[in-house]
Amino acid sequence: MVLMQHNTMIRQIAVNGERMRADFEALAAVGGDGSGGVTRLALTPDDIHARAWYADRAEEAGLRVHDDDAANLSAILDAADPNARTLVIGSHLDTVPDGGRFDGAVGVLAALECLRTIHESGIELPVKLEAMNFTDDEGHYASLFGARAFVGVLTSEDIFDTRRDNAQLRAALRSVGSDAQRVLGTRRDPESLAGYLELHIEHGTRLEKSHRPIGIVTGIVGRKTHKITFLGQAGHSGTTDMYKRRDALRGAALFIVRAHESMRARYGDGIFSCGDVDVKPGKFNIIPSEACCTVEFRHVQEDLMVEMEREALQIARECAAANALDIRHELITHMPAASMSAGFVSAIESVCEDFGIPSMPLISYAGHAGQFTAQITPTGMIFIPSVDGIGHSPREFTEWEDIERGANVLLQTILRWALGA
């Protein structure tokens, strides 16, 4: 009976939509172009402005503000027990260049609003709640930098490798009072964590098309990027013997055609893409001596992603051999595939069922902090629709009612998770 009353009370808690909307408008103005576009590159003045604004909102609400050595910035609602574990709810304040108002911002503001709402409700939870802004999610310096620091997978190379000009990243960290020397020690103790939860726009049209306002993320695709360079020999395109040509672009083109065909045929759930070919010397009348392909592999299963990568590299070697070329390849990025916690999936599902909100399970084809947090703590993600699936664009748009509904699903999931923890 007591439990039922408690549950009824819990069900009745809801975010303050007006307050959250005022926050949304205020944040959209920071780095905003006045017509929907926002540019808040990580650790640039506009992002620093947004961070200060966020810290002010958190302090106003009586939350504790904390930042770690990777400049991840949190608003914390402490628990009665100082040794309680922490449920982190996060996203990012930074944007891509010429991005939109929703990507990242919605997740941070909803997290903040959930903490304020719970704080105001007077409910005592057995876990701490931490509304976190992860540093440089969008990769102005290094994609998912803050999330990687959080789980402890950054390497010394990520911060101190001089070939990548990381001096700018170090200077940017210093500008917000963080110390690059200590970033590698940022790693959170998994034992101290109760989970990680994030609300984000879908970056796709699956929710919109199926008229379901909530997506329950079951997995985040992994991503590996390579530069695969075909190496031939330059020569006058008119006078070089046709049978002695070592045309690097011809090999690269064959690779692009064959790799697309093979990947599509064999890995229906995987994605292969070649986004660029850089040809040298790149003249009308000179046989290309170098063609460097920028390729990526995505798959929600890490083992299949590695298989795709291995097979594509084999195709590249065959295409090189067929054109008397040499080959060189370099792994540029590895973002691991991640499964979302079954516990979070069912918690979100049951919230949606209880509130009669149509939902559907989804795989995330874009990268998110959760693909790293899943390595050390149960992780869940809630997607809300983005109109026409547009993301990373000033035309990015989500209806306000979808945002408020998403924030309430987030709030109810936090409460269930925290009370069940």
Binding interface with its own copies (CB under 8 A): 203-205, 221, 223, 225, 236-239, 241-242, 247, 249-250, 252-257, 260, 264, 271, 273-279, 282-288, 294-296, 298, 332-333, 365-367, 389, 391-392
Residue 335 per-residue DSSP state? E
184 vs 279, beta carbon nearer its own copies: 279
22 vs 257, beta carbon nearer its own copies: 257
- Residue 162's DSSP bridge partners are none
CA distance 281 to 277: 12
- Residue owning tokens 């039922």: 4
Residue 375 CB, nearest distance to its own copies (Å)?
20
Residue 17 CB, nearest distance to its own copies (Å)?
28
| Closest C-alpha to 96, from 139, 141, 60 | 139
CA distance 106 to 104: 6
Residue 380 CB, nearest distance to its own copies (Å)?
19
Q: Are strands 338-339 and 214-220 parallel, antiparallel or unpaired?
A: antiparallel
Name, in order, each residue with C-beta under 8 angstroms of 406's C-beta and a sequence gap of 6 or more: 106, 110, 199, 213, 214, 382, 384
Do 271 and 298 meet the contact criterion of CB atoms below 8 Å apart?
yes
What is the residue type of 112?
Answer: L
Strand ranges, E, within 173-213: 193-201
Residue 240 CB, nearest distance to its own copies (Å)?
8
| Closest C-alpha to 217, from 332, 350, 75, 360 | 360
Residue 36 CB, nearest distance to its own copies (Å)?
18
203 phi and psi, to 5 degrees?
Answer: 60, 45
CA 251 to chain centre: 34
119 vs 260, beta carbon nearer its own copies: 260
CA distance 397 to 386: 6
